[in-house]
Amino acid sequence: MNTISKNGPTPVTMDTRERILEAAERIFAECGFEATSLRQITREAGVNLAAVNYHFGSKEGLLKELLRMRIVPMNETRQALLERYQFQSQSDDRPASLEQIFDAFLRPYFEAGAPGGDRNGLFMHMLGRVFSEKPGFMESFYEEHFKDIQEIFIAAIREAQPELAEEEVLWRFHFALSLMLSSMTQRQRLKISSHGHCDPDDIEGLILRLIEFICAGFRSPILPKTNFEIVGIKS
């Protein structure tokens, strides 16, 4: 029977917990959350159902721990990188640039999912599947893991682009976030559609191109609805 000492989990407990997390991450990524049963996970991890209930309470509790384990360190890296850029910019008496802001936001995400990046690439695939299968889960995920970091980055964007209305900042950040998620989860499609001309494993090239694309979008003028017909769009 697993026990917890005053100094924390014993090595046996930690090993069991880690096996469950590894198995769940792999099966969630391959099969999706809804199609995965706890019995699949316990069979893959070589543990009994009671071990999952003891450590995580439920399948959803297991998923929440996987998210916490990956997202919290990523957001800490994002904030530290942004603060470094902001400190560097202070000497020039200017805010951090859009390029610096989005490098801080995007780089930890893509480097975590880079080839050879431990289990993080698998986690990114799992994350994409969970969000597509469980849209209601996104709300609780946002409140717990993304709301605070988003507010920090949006505040930095406001400083860099003070001429943008609040609504426009939020719309454009939403587009940037959508591009970030799809560029990682769907990047292997690029190799097929580009007939091999684009390398989806070139993570640095992906980051730099995406930063350039997003920053151009943030700097583009706001087109009044009355002018949509000028570009062939009927309002």
Each residue of 132-146: pLDDT tens digit?
776 677 777 788 889
Q: What angle do CA 75, 36, 4 make, to 5 degrees?
A: 60
Q: Which of 34-38, 48-52, 188-192 has the lowest mean pLDDT?
A: 188-192
Residue 115 pLDDT: 61
Please say if the pLDDT value at position 222 is more than 90: no
C-alpha dist (Å) from residue 61 to 38, 56, 68, 225: 12, 5, 11, 46
DSSP state of 37: -
One-letter-per-residue 3-state SS of 57-97: CCHHHHHHHHHHHHHHHHHHHHHHHHHHHHHHHHCCCCCCC
Radius of gyration of the chain (CA): 21
Instruction: Give which of 182, 203, 180, 200 is closest to 191, Cα–Cα.
Output: 200
**CATH class of the domain at 67-221:** mainly alpha
**Residue recorded with tokens 């989806």:** 200
Task: Give tens-digit pLDDT for 44-96.
Answer: 999 999 999 999 999 989 998 988 888 899 999 999 999 999 999 998 899 99
Taking the mean position of all CA atoms in its chain, how far away is CA 81? Answer: 16
What's the pLDDT band for 111 if we cut at 50, 70, 90? confident
Q: Enter the tokens of residue 198.
A: 């684009």
Please tell me the pTM assigned to this model.
Answer: 0.80
In angstroms, the CA 33 to CA 102 distance is 30
What's the pLDDT band for 235 if we cut at 50, 70, 90? low
**CATH dotted code for 9-57:** 1.10.10.60
Instruction: Give which of 44, 57, 153, 41 is closest to 105, Cα–Cα.
Output: 153
- Segments of the chain assigned to CATH 1.10.10.60: 9-57
Secondary structure class of 8 (helix, strand, coil): strand
- Segments of the chain assigned to CATH 1.10.357.10: 67-221
* In the chain, % of residues over pLDDT 90: 53
What's the pLDDT band for 32 if we cut at 50, 70, 90? confident
Secondary structure class of 9 (helix, strand, coil): strand
C-alpha dist (Å) from residue 135 to 129, 170, 222: 10, 20, 30
